[in-house]
Chains A and B, each alone.
Chain A
Amino acid sequence: MSEHAQRRERWGSRIGLILAMAGNAVGLGNFLRFPRQAVANGGGTFMIPYFIAFILVGIPLMWIEWGIGRRGGQHGHGSLPGQFDVLWKHPVAKYLGVMGLFNTLVVLIYYCYIESWTLAWTFFSLRGDMRGLDEQGMKHFLYSYQNLSDPSVHATWVPFAFFFVTLLVNFWIVGKGISAGIEKLAKIGMPILFVFAAILVVRVLTLGPHEVVVNGVAQTASPADGLNFMYTPEWAALAKPAVWLAAAGQIFFTLSVGMGSLSAYASYLKKDDDIALSGLATAATNETAEVVLGGSLAIPAIVTFFGVGSAIAIARAGGFDLGFISMPLVFNRLPGGVPIAAAAGFMWFSLLFVAGITSSVAMATPALSFMEENFGWTRRNAVLVVAALAVGIGLFHVIYYQRGFLDEWDYWAGTFGLVVCALFEVIIFVWLFGPRNAWAEITQGAQMRIPPFFRFVLTWVTPLFLLVLMGWWTVQDAIPTLLMKGKPEAEIPVRWASRAVMFGILVAQLWLIGLAWRRRKAQGRV
């Protein structure tokens, strides 16, 4: 073990590690993306490909990332360039690891902007700013915040202020380190998230029937109708490849695999620390938050107050409309009046904020580790530089959100980049490091017996699944997205500028990796 590896920080406790890992995985998507995906892809039938993908892709990738991280950490590497270099002795390996720096930094910057909305809406809920607004009013309330040229509801400085506060809180926490910052946040934040979500689920599921008007006809709807809508199977959906790929995609996003942040957290483990049971516990905790809590909140509540037809339209409109327009409308209609609406809004948006921040601090970790380990920077200096970068580049997201700046980043780094990174991880860890070594790494110190069937899954099924997913997405989405098909003319220059900034980040990170390894060589550390 290198001297630097021995000096690395460690997790304070295993429960802290699992909560931090679960916090990394549990994000806004558990509450906003999952219900939409389930409704749009066959309801109850969606659960079949969803759980198959969980077993064949989700759990294996979770173990692979933990294995890569723990192995790399023994050699003093907290980010993928160094971790890949340890596993595959080839000059290219470290450069492929750039995906672990690129995805996390790019997603961190725009994710913090979305996270800042949840902080703002927590504040607005407490102040009762959305009291009495109808659907149009609620839309205007959101769109005025997103569109700086429309200060009719929110002053122009408001989105900037919440964005800066969000970044400040994030970097203050990561600046305190792994144990005193990130682990402490998870130990406080995750119980709050689960308690708030559980209270809201109980409130939603115990609502009585309400009258809704559908096409001019009055009907009654209840949470049971919402659960029927979520879980009644459409068997024909199982024959559609798109449903299987949507399920695999959801598993991918929800577990935060292919990002590089799980392996960064795992790098702070010791050689014989268990990763098999801890990784599985992390994945299972995330699934509980997603299926039991996320699946029982938004859709049943919206169906109860607006009917199934409206829920379909809302689900199609996207996760932000669901979270920031429909849910506040639901809260305004809850029995109990203003205090209950304020309390429900506060709990909903603060649980989203906690889900967001426990993920964003994880995304900041690889970049900080890289600078500390390769250039000898102090944590404080690394935090200051990455924070300055996040503020500077993040301003583009605040200013140009409505012109597609964020969409480009979300697609190329937050969607496509994750599959590319996961594919690199699987190929390097399983095929190039060797299936026997990979299996030995995952089972070392294991406190559960991993069924031998997973050895076959890790070697063949998971890579194949990822290749199919990447091929499908390339044909279906990547090519049309690259060509900007259907995008308004006015957005095209902004979208190109957005890509140029992303490309600049990628090139700068590749250059830094090259520089770091030349420095290591000069110091005799390679």
Chain B
Amino acid sequence: MRLVAIVFMSLAWMFVLGLTLWCFAKLMKADPSKEHLPPPGTSL
């Protein structure tokens, strides 16, 4: 692969994967009380 193609592909992948991982890491750290689960016994 050409170096310039590698650079473009790496930057594109790093941006989307980085953003996705950052979002999900932040979601995991979020206060569980903010998660509005259905009341116990509610069938999904």
Chain A interface (Cβ within 8 Å of chain B)? 10-15, 18, 43-44, 47, 51, 179-180, 183-184, 224, 227-228, 230-233, 270, 272-274, 277-278, 280-281, 284-285, 287-288, 290-292, 295, 445, 447-448
Contact = CB atoms under 8 A, between A and B. Distances in A.
Contacts of B44: 12, 179-180, 183-184
Nearest to A447: B30
A295 B15 CA distance: 14
B23 to A, nearest CB: 4
Contacts of B16: 284, 287-288, 290-292
Contact of A273 (B13, B27, B36): B36
Given A179-B44, A233-B8, A288 B20 contact: yes
A447 B27 CA distance: 8
A230 B20 contact: no
- Sorting the interface of chain B by its residue count into under 10, 10 to 19, 20 to 34 or 35 or more gives 20 to 34
Interface in B1-44: 1-2, 4-6, 8-9, 11-13, 15-17, 19-20, 22-24, 26-27, 30-31, 34-38, 42-44
A374 B15 CA distance: 43
B4 to A, nearest CB: 6
A281 B23 contact: yes
Interface of A is mostly: helix
B5 to A, nearest CB: 4
Given A183-B44, A230-B9, A284-B20, 10 more contacts: A13-B37, A44-B9, A179-B44, A184-B44, A231-B6, A273-B34, A284-B23, A287-B16, A288-B20, A292-B17
Contacts of B31: 447
A448 B30 CA distance: 10
A298 to B, nearest CB: 15
B4 A284 contact: no
Nearest to B24: A281
Given A179-B44, A284-B16, A287-B16, A447 B34 contact: yes
B27 to A, nearest CB: 6
Interface of B: 1-2, 4-6, 8-9, 11-13, 15-17, 19-20, 22-24, 26-27, 30-31, 34-38, 42-44
Contact of A281 (B2, B11, B27, B37): B27
A230 B4 CA distance: 11
A270 to B, nearest CB: 6
Contacts of B19: 280, 284, 287
7 contacts: A10-B36, A44-B4, A180-B43, A227-B1, A281-B23, A287-B19, A290-B16
Given A51-B15, A233-B8, A291-B13, A14 B35 contact: yes
A10 B20 contact: no
A70 to B, nearest CB: 12
A232 B12 contact: no
A181 to B, nearest CB: 10
B20 A287 contact: yes
B16 to A, nearest CB: 4
User: Taking each of B4, B9, B35, B43, which has the highest tally of chain A beta carbons within 10 Å of its own beta carbon?
Assistant: B9
B34 A228 contact: no
B17 A288 contact: yes
User: Taking each of A14, A43, A179, which has the highest tally of chain B beta carbons within 10 Å of its own beta carbon?
Assistant: A14
Given A228-B5, A284-B20, A291-B16, A18 B27 contact: yes
Contacts of B13: 291-292
A47 B23 contact: no
A286 to B, nearest CB: 9
A445 B35 CA distance: 11
Given A12-B38, A47-B11, A224 B27 contact: no
A224 to B, nearest CB: 5
A15 B44 CA distance: 14
